Amino acid sequence: MFLRAKLISAELLMWKLLLAAVIAIYASLAYADETTAPCKYAYYGTNLSVYTSDELCGPIIAGANASYCIVNSTDCSIINNITMNGRTTLPFFNALGNLSTSKIAYFKFGNKSLLVMKGMSFPPTLTTLFIENITTLDFNQLTTPFPSSLRKIDIIDSYLDIFPASFKWPTNLRNLTLRNNRLQTIPKGLPVNLSTLAIQNNTLNDFNYLPPNLTFLNIRNNQYEKVTDKDWTNLYFL
């Protein structure tokens, strides 16, 4: 009788120990998960607000509209869930993430002192991009080129002095505005079919890289002396 009771309590103890071990393993696994899987945007820098439409905002469902959110680059926690169509005023962000599943056609942002866009990716539906007043706009950090769907790009008031040699202009681009920057040359490799270029108020002093089929060109307020070596017959405005 006693022996039997002892056996039972020994068995109980064994089960208790086993349960405790299982819990401990589980806890350590969960802990390991949190510590070994850093936020995918951690490499952007710490404490950045990343505007994105990837799986961090919610499941990506084919055929459904994408979810948008702003996440903390340190821990991927959601700072803001966003309902938007590209034209609404966005909450504060200072980095751009993977927006490739969004279906936006128009994207406008600006008034920022910093913009990190290392892993940024725009959707193949984007046709118009408008960027204004960004103090440190550095296209060197891009890893994914702008989509070829883009037809109109405005980058204004942004202290932009150079496009990196690796920057790929979307081939279908028709209208480009780069006014009020610090460009020293017309960007290299503009698409041959670019139709309008507004590049006034920069520091240009030559016409190198001028694309061949422009119908509109604004180069006012640059550092040209005298333009004598150009045939402007296709242009209706200078």
Question: Where do contacts with ligand NAG occur on this chain (CB under 6 A)?
Answer: 47, 49, 54, 58, 64-65, 72, 74-75, 78-79, 81, 85, 98, 100-101, 108-113, 119, 121, 132-133, 135, 144, 171, 174-175, 180, 182, 192-193, 195-196, 201, 212-213, 221
* CB 194, min distance to ligand NAG, A: 8
Cα–Cα separations (whole angstroms), residue 134 to 55, 69, 157, 180, 237 = 28, 21, 7, 12, 29
Do 127 and 151 touch, CB atoms closer than 8 A?
yes
Burial (CB count <10 Å: 0-12, 13-18, 19+), residue 22: exposed
Burial call 111-143: b when 16+ CB within 10 Å, e when fewer: ebeebbbbbbbbbeebbbbbbeebeebeeeebe
Considering the complex, state which of residue 98 and residue 185 has its C-beta at the smaller distance from ligand NAG: 98
Q: What pairing do the DSSP bridges indicate for beta strands 78-82 and 68-72?
A: antiparallel
Do 145 and 163 touch, CB atoms closer than 8 A?
no
Considering the complex, state which of residue 5 and residue 33 has its C-beta at the smaller distance from ligand NAG: 33
Considering the complex, state which of residue 15 and residue 232 has its C-beta at the smaller distance from ligand NAG: 232
Considering the complex, state which of residue 38 and residue 164 has its C-beta at the smaller distance from ligand NAG: 38
* CB 1, min distance to ligand NAG, A: 57
* CB 99, min distance to ligand NAG, A: 8
Considering the complex, state which of residue 21 and residue 120 has its C-beta at the smaller distance from ligand NAG: 120
State the sign of the Cα–Cα–Cα–Cα dihedral 122, 218, 195, 171.
Answer: negative
* CB 27, min distance to ligand NAG, A: 20
* CB 23, min distance to ligand NAG, A: 26
